[in-house]
Homo-oligomer: A and B are copies of this chain.
């Protein structure tokens, strides 16, 4: 007997038929004698419908009322999932985020989980009930309903797994697990049996869309081992866990491509103390996240600052920078949208040399130019021409022999 937390995403509970299939899966695990806490998202599409209605009545809905509205989506799913379980003879009970004791801070629409009082859930588990919990939502100390932002249901599942001391945490989604590369781009991409939190985090921040970073961070902090797997088949997924020594044998565990980036070049600014700070302060004030910063200083005392920003922020970034450039003297701001970031990630880099050389050689072999380079302890990222990003991913995947993994 094990205590298991499962999380089913919006496509897995997208309609009544799928909810009934999920109930069958839960029943099978329950019938093996396991205790189950099941976190569900809103049915796919419901959240967007609600947001559309909100925008139809008010151009800029308040965050507090948005949370009140959006929490409705998961509350529907928990009730339907509990009913579907009753329909197949499984004792089950639904919990809103508030009932599940998920206390958050007061930041509506992107609240942080502060504490979880899991006693009522544990009591129901011990009474033999499957507990169905609304993902994505909590309650703050004023009794207000809050939501956790994008990827919030994963976070609910991982936080609950820590709170109820679960033996297993399974994140069911519409993909089979974590792959060495996007299988739609790299045909011989392999599903990873396991991956470390740090690698998963670097992949998440590099354009792999399996999970949001903060759920992985939370899992890492509380050492919650979890498995990413599909609700549409019974294949084993990918286990995400603390790094262990043997993981370092593999130098690179994955290749990620992020095409939603733009490069910004602030050129010809006077190279004096504080210039760069002013540039990045202006971007920070506009809430724009900056990556891959490179500064070149020429002989004549002028400098170029180059960096990447999310493509959706590029116009705002340019606008935010123009007054700054005027202030610090003489510069020019240029935006280049046709770039992509390609990253290789692996804890093995910490102990293996030559990773950068292999990466650069692989790109050179297919004639792809490298625009920017940035590195972390377990990741190397290059900015390249967007049109050739998929080709680059395939070349790099082969160069690191990722098709032979798994």
Contact = CB atoms under 8 A, between A and B. Distances in A.
Interface residues of A, number: 36
Contacts of A384: none
Contact of A86 (B58, B94, B96, B145): B58
A383 interface: no
A62 B82 CA distance: 9
A393 interface: no
| A19, A58, A61, A83, most chain B CB atoms within 10 A | A83
A76 B65 contact: no
Contacts of A16: 53, 56-57
Interface in A68-94: 68-69, 71-72, 75-76, 78-80, 82-84, 86-87, 93-94
A23 interface: yes
B57 A23 contact: yes
A50 B65 contact: no
Contacts of A20: 57
A57 B75 contact: no
A96 B99 CA distance: 14
A122 to B, nearest CB: 16
Nearest to A83: B58
Contacts of A59: 87
B61 A76 contact: no
B71 A83 contact: no
Contacts of A71: 75
A76 B72 contact: yes
Nearest to A54: B83
B57 A19 contact: yes
A232 to B, nearest CB: 18
A354 interface: no
B58 A79 contact: no
Contacts of A50: 76
Interface of A: 16, 19-20, 23, 50, 53-54, 56-59, 61-62, 64-66, 68-69, 71-72, 75-76, 78-80, 82-84, 86-87, 93-94, 96, 99, 143, 145
9 contacts: A16-B56, A58-B86, A65-B79, A68-B78, A68-B96, A69-B75, A69-B79, A71-B75, A72-B75
